[in-house]
């Protein structure tokens, strides 16, 4: 019983830490521009495969950690190009943005699928910073995942400081609160939205770098699962609320973990948890736990 409780608590914390990073960027983009970027999960997936491809390149032999820098830069640039080439021309139509970002996610998935590594399960374990595990009450606590949880908390705190204290962060908050008023104050709202999309892609890339070395790349379709769970997180916490995204991430994480461990046929039911959360929250409290009710 103690082992099951440790399993539920540790994996719930781990899942929450991963989704806090992914959902925070997703929620940020929606809060600033009202954009639902359905390619967000693909950023996570693509970062993992970028790391894999570069690790297989002779140039990076002995320079494995340089792949992390390159992968994060590339995924951040892809986020920026997504906005400039696809989102910005269509941002007045939310439906068009949803469709075009869905198309981009599908395109990225197909690009990975037709690559030599697209149909197999791969590991990038050579990027693990910490090896091994420690037994706690009979449950193995993987050191890499402890590092992920700690780094996730640090990144969330640094991001909160950035949003509240830096000039760019204050501009992001101003645009999210009132885009027209921010424009009158000399803030270029379009440029701020570009930065937020790039930051969101970077956060998804950081989540991939921290998590995937301890897990595996189980196919290019993996991005859709992370997108769905992130969507459940931001719906639960409140679209556009960064605090809600973090809180929602851990609620969803513990709920999935509890279902996996304590519910009969848990792994099958766990896949339904995000969908059930989305439906229930939209019916009971559409603005989410920390979201503000929109005025019509």
pLDDT attached to residue 191: 94
Burial class for 234, CB neighbours closer than 10 Å (0-12, 13-18, 19+) = buried
274 within domain boundaries: no
Report yes or no on 266 lying in a domain.
Answer: no
Judge contact between 37 and 216, C-beta under 8 A. no
* Residue 37, domain member (yes or no): yes
Residue 295, domain member (yes or no): no
Q: What's the domain count of the chain?
A: 1
The answer to the question of residue 187 being in a domain is yes
Asked if 96 contacts 90 with a C-beta cutoff of 8 angstroms, the reply is yes
Q: What is the mean pLDDT of residues 13-37?
A: 92
Kindly report, residue by residue over 230-281, the tens digit of the pLDDT. 999 999 998 888 899 999 999 999 999 999 988 887 888 888 888 898 898 8
Give residue 239's pLDDT: 84
Across 21-34, average pLDDT: 91
d(CA 85, CA 58): 33
Q: Which tens digits make up the pLDDT trace of 147-197?
A: 999 999 999 999 999 999 999 999 999 998 888 888 888 899 999 999 999
Whether residue 280 is contained in a domain is answered as no
Per-residue pLDDT tens for 41-69?
A: 999 999 999 999 999 998 888 888 899 99
Q: Using the structure block, give the residue that is written with the tokens 């997504």.
A: 82
The boundaries of the domain holding residue 188 are: 17-219
CA distances for 182 relative to 25, 93, 179, 187, angstroms? 21, 21, 5, 5
The string of pLDDT tens digits covering residues 70-120 is 999 999 999 999 999 999 999 888 899 999 999 999 999 999 999 988 778
Residue 215 domain-assigned? Answer: yes
In-domain check, residue 276? no
């Amino acid at each position: 019983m103690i082992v099951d409780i440790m399993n539920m608590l540790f994996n719930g914390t781990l899942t929450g830490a991963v989704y806090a990073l992914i959902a925070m960027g997703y929620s940020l983009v929606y809060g600033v521009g009202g954009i639902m970027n359905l390619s967000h999960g693909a950023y996570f997936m693509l970062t993992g495969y970028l790391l894999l491809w570069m690790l297989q390149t002779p140039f990076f032999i002995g320079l494995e950690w340089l792949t992390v820098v390159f992968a994060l830069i590339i995924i951040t640039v892809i986020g920026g190009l997504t906005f400039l080439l696809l989102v910005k021309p269509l941002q007045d139509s939310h439906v068009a943005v949803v469709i075009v970002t869905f198309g981009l996610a599908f395109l990225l998935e197909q690009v990975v699928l037709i690559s030599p590594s697209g149909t197999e399960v791969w590991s990038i374990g050579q990027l693990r910073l910490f090896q091994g595990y420690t037994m706690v009450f009979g449950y193995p606590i993987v050191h890499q995942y402890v590092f992920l949880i700690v780094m996730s908390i640090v990144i969330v705190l640094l991001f909160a400081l950035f949003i509240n204290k830096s000039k760019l962060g204050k501009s992001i908050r101003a645009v999210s609160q009132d885009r027209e008023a921010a424009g009158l104050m000399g803030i270029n709202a379009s440029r701020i939205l570009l930065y937020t999309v790039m930051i969101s892609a970077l956060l998804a890339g950081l989540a991939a770098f921290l998590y995937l070395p301890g897990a595996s790349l189980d196919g290019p379709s993996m991005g859709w699962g992370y997108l769905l769970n992130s969507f459940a997180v931001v719906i639960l916490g409140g679209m556009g609320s960064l605090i809600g995204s973090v809180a929602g991430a851990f609620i969803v994480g513990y709920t999935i973990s509890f279902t996996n461990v304590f519910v009969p046929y848990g792994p099958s039911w766990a896949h339904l948890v995000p969908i059930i959360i989305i439906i229930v929250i939209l019916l009971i409290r559409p603005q989410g736990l920390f979201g503000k009710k929109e005025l019509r």
